[in-house]
Amino acid sequence: MSKIFLFGECMVELSSNQQDTLNQSFAGDFFNAAVYLKRAFEPIEVNLLTAIGKDKLSNAMIKLFEHEQLNTDLVFKDTKKLPGLYWIQLDNKGERSFDYWRSDAAVRQIMKWIDDKTLAELTHSDWFFFSGISLAVINPQDRALFWKMLDALKLAGVKIAFDPNYRHQLWQNEAEARAHFEQAFEYTDMLLPGVDDFKTLYAIETAEQVADFCQPYQIDELIIKNGEQGVYCVYQNQVRQINIEPVNHVVDTTSAGDSFNGVYLGARLSGKDVANSVALAAKAAAIVIQHKGAIVPKQVFTLA
């Protein structure tokens, strides 16, 4: 049985509905990926690495993790902190806008929880996944410790999967984001970017240009998501463009890339080849974008 850790921030989500009341749920890119990975590949042991508080919403969050059969041994509970929160609002044209309260979230201090015992737990895993969002939320002064942790994981043979998931608001400036991404690429065995992640930072417009950019790094598996234009893969020196069936009635693209990542990782960890894994991941993302919200109901998420 394979084992993976996913690291990042899960937030409290508030969304306004038409009656002008607020709906409350939970979301975060690494959590979304973990949920879909586990739903699609039940035998894989899916572990979360994050920090939350001890407040009521944190308690509800951890209950949800457990409900989704995600292992929470490394979900740390900080008595002095709360989880981050965001509010999605729709304007009268249907465009979404986001306000965030996350600058003092518990997860920003994640590195204080990584002692020798925790590190030993993390090294007993096949894979470790994180994203550019996970990286950005670590307190800047602790990021050197994060790279040291990745050194230890690599040394222990743990494979690293990374999705840059570029969000400009999370970085002080583009140079800071570029420096961190380039450091992450040095560790990455499997890179799961979208073409968009490279647009602003590197003026890159196509999947082929992303692949060229990545060539100097030792990335074994490069899976470039490009919306309905398909998926561009470079694996074992073979380049392949895999077309996908476009969805005509897209309802909400939240979590498209996350569901793709989770199911792709699960499929690869289960021994499926790249083409079959992409097909399954694209099928999962297609389901997700036809429903509202990051996490769709279990009954509509059927990949068989």
Q: Smaller CB distance to ligand ADP: residue 150 or 284? A: 284
Q: Say if residues 282 and 260 touch (Cβ distance below 8 Å).
A: yes
Q: Which one is catalytic: 29, 78, 163, 258?
A: 258
Q: Smaller CB distance to ligand ADP: residue 75 or 231? A: 231
By CB under 6 A, is residue 6 in contact with ligand ADP? no
CA–CA distance, 32 with 40 (Å, rounded to integer): 12
CA–CA distance, 72 with 9 (Å, rounded to integer): 13
CB of 196 to ligand ADP, least distance (A): 5
- Of 262, 243, 82, nearest to 161 by C-alpha is 262
Q: Residues touching ligand ADP: how many (CB under 6 A)?
A: 19
By CB under 6 A, is residue 194 in contact with ligand ADP? yes
Which span sits near ligand ADP by CB under 6 A: 10-18, 69-77, 176-184, 226-234?
226-234
| Complete edge-to-edge strand list for the sheet that includes strand 85-90 | 22-27, 11-16, 85-90, 96-101
- Considering only 207, 231, 233, 295, the residue that binds ligand ADP (CB under 6 A) is 231
Label residue 65 exposed, middle or buried (CB < 10 Å: 0-12, 13-18, 19+). buried
By CB under 6 A, is residue 244 in contact with ligand ADP? yes
- Alpha helix (H) residue ranges in 68-139: 116-123, 132-137
CB of 150 to ligand ADP, least distance (A): 22
Q: Smaller CB distance to ligand ADP: residue 48 or 233? A: 233
Q: Write out the two tokens for 107.
A: 């997860």
List contacts with ligand ADP (CB under 6 A): 194, 196, 225-228, 231, 244, 246-247, 250, 253, 256-257, 260, 282, 285-286, 289
